[in-house]
Homo-oligomer: A and B are copies of this chain.
Amino acid sequence: MPKHVRSRKGAPGIVEVAARAGVSPATVSRFFNTPDMVKLPTRTRIERAANDLGYIRDRMAGSMHNRFSGTIGIIVPTIDNAIFSELIESFASRLLVHDRTMLIAAHGYELEREVAIVRSLLERRIDGIALIGFDHDPIALNMLAQRNVPVVSIWNFSETSDLPCIGANNFKAGQMAVEHLLELGHTKISFIFADTKGNDRARARLDGAIGKAKEGGIQVSADAIHTCSYDVGEAKRLVVNILKSEPKTAIVCGNDIISHGAMFACQALHLKVPDAVSIIGIGDFQGSAHMEPGLTTIRLPAKKIGALAADTLVEMNETGRPNPEFRREVELNFIRRGSTAAPCDE
CB interface residues, A 52-90, toward B, < 8 Å: 54, 56-61, 63-65, 67, 69-71, 78-82, 85-86, 88-90
CA A104 to CA B88, docked complex, whole Å: 10
Is A3's CB within 8 Å of the partner chain B?
A: no
Residues B290 and A9 in contact, CB atoms below 8 Å apart: no
Is A332's CB within 8 Å of the partner chain B?
A: no
Residues A146 and B11 in contact, CB atoms below 8 Å apart: yes
Q: Which stretch (A39-47, A162-170, A261-269) binds chain B? A: A261-269
Q: Which stretch (A122-130, A205-213, A310-318) binds chain B? A: A122-130
Residues of chain B with a CB closer than 8 A to A103's CB: 101-103
Given contacts A92-B104, A102-B104, 6 further A-B contacts (CB under 8 A): A4-B65, A9-B147, A60-B63, A80-B286, A101-B103, A233-B290
Residues B232 and A119 in contact, CB atoms below 8 Å apart: no
CB interface residues, A 303-341, toward B, < 8 Å: none
Residue from A9, A120, A123, A287 with most neighbouring chain B CB atoms (10 Å): A287
CA A96 to CA B114, docked complex, whole Å: 13
The 6 closest A-B pairs by CB, nearest first: A80-B89, A267-B292, A79-B89, A60-B60, A59-B123, A232-B290
Residues B146 and A82 in contact, CB atoms below 8 Å apart: no
Is A1's CB within 8 Å of the partner chain B?
A: no
> Which chain B residue lies CB-closest to A261?
B290
Residues B59 and A124 in contact, CB atoms below 8 Å apart: yes
Residues of chain B with a CB closer than 8 A to A203's CB: none
Is A106's CB within 8 Å of the partner chain B?
A: yes
Total A residues in contact with B, Cβ cutoff 8 Å: 64
Residues A86 and B80 in contact, CB atoms below 8 Å apart: yes
Residues B106 and A104 in contact, CB atoms below 8 Å apart: no
Residues A143 and B56 in contact, CB atoms below 8 Å apart: yes
Instruction: Name the one of B67, B105, B119 contacting A96, with C-beta atoms under 8 angstroms.
Output: B105
CA A154 to CA B241, docked complex, whole Å: 41
Is A19's CB within 8 Å of the partner chain B?
A: no
Residues A79 and B69 in contact, CB atoms below 8 Å apart: no
Is A344's CB within 8 Å of the partner chain B?
A: no
Residues B268 and A287 in contact, CB atoms below 8 Å apart: no
Contact with B along A272-296 (1 / 0, CB 8 A): 0000000000000011011110000
Residues A92 and B69 in contact, CB atoms below 8 Å apart: no
Assuming the contacts A56-B122, A57-B123, A290-B233, asked whether A79 and B88 have C-beta atoms less than 8 A apart, the reply is yes
